[in-house]
Structure 1
Amino acid sequence: MNPLLAGLTILMIGDSHLTFKNTLLANLPEAFVAQGAKVVTYGLCSSKPEDWVDEKPVNACGYTQRIGTEHITLSMNKNDAPPNVQTLIQQWHPDAVIVVFGDAMAGYNQPQMPTDWIKDQVHALVENIGSTKCIWVGPTWGHYNPRYGKTDARTQELAALLNKEVQPCHYIDSTKLLDQKSIATEDGLHLTTSDYTKWGNQLVKTIDPLLSNK
């Protein structure tokens, strides 16, 4: 156990990369709990930052709430939605909030990235997180699939924008954590189980020092 994480409460919220049982939801909580932290995780498939500012039922493909390392149960009730981030902060009093967002607002199938719209969403969520320590995890590489339209160029464009706009949150550029040519996905956007594990391992190495630096 890393004593520097003992006693910390971490709130994690995010999109589909933090919703299903074979995603980051399967390894990030375990890694931080093993180091002594209390972890509460909420994932909402296809969600964007604005969905965590305005509490509303937007569950199109799955919603998960996971306390610590308990069994992962996915709700498909379309009337289910997580509380907004201010409510979650008031409920759990986290020392740090880790957010996983980017792919759902990149506009991969649009000719131009919706820059102003992204900025508005990012700023609203950051403002609602307030003075709590914040770590923003951006998307990693994928492959082109007409279903999502993800491309390397748009992923890099989005990463560069988020890096500027998420302050004072610390931005983690996930494209720098994994080898672009080695990424395997299920559908062009969601990674295979083994690559989610690789991504998660790299994130833990990157996030640990940020959590330890109180």
Structure 2
Amino acid sequence: MNPVLEHVNLEVKDQEFVTILGPSGSGKSTIFNIIGGLLTPVAGDVILDCRQVVGHTGHVAYMPQSPSLMPWRTVAANIALGSEIKEGTTGRLDELLERSGFEDIRHQYPDRLSGGMKQRVSFLRTLNTPGDLMLLDEPFSALDEITRFDMQKWLQEILAAEKRTVLMITHSIEEAIRLSDRIVVLAGKPASIQHMIEVKQMTEEERHLLKQQLLEMLTGI
């Protein structure tokens, strides 16, 4: 058996947005599967609010790469799904629809929505899923550049009001810089955390320099 991860020690603070950057096959999705309880590591712990959650599910809210909306359910019904499964209620459905400006499309079905709108609905469903931690798995990778930029801005506005704890994986350096409080660089075989970088308010020049530094870290240039 070949190990995928080794000596990965990561702490995510309450209401922090942390992004994991790494090349394909570096173990980013494995980390998510371990945190979510879908995989059990050979060794190590996953602690959430002082509780050991290794091998347990139901404690995180997860947003996949594709929207994965139920085509027979309306926008409102898709958003309600996360809370229905875990608590048997619609959760904060009306509040989230109002906050996001989706009241006018609450009765529409996914086949009437653009790719960006589907991703917004998917994110609202994740927000409506009970869980202390949100896991975003390359949520904007399938979108074109303009829609992706618009989604990032929208996400920042929603999270500014929601104050949630977020762990995201992405291949996009620019996306990591734009959204994150902290960036974790994963590399090696087996993979380990090579760098942790605090992201602060930056000038365009500082942003460009950080992008170059991260590119060098990821490619070994």
**Fold match by TM threshold 0.5:** no
Could you state the TM-score of these two structures normalised by the residue count of structure 2?
Answer: 0.30
Greater gyration radius: 2
Could you state the TM-score of these two structures normalised by the residue count of structure 1?
Answer: 0.31
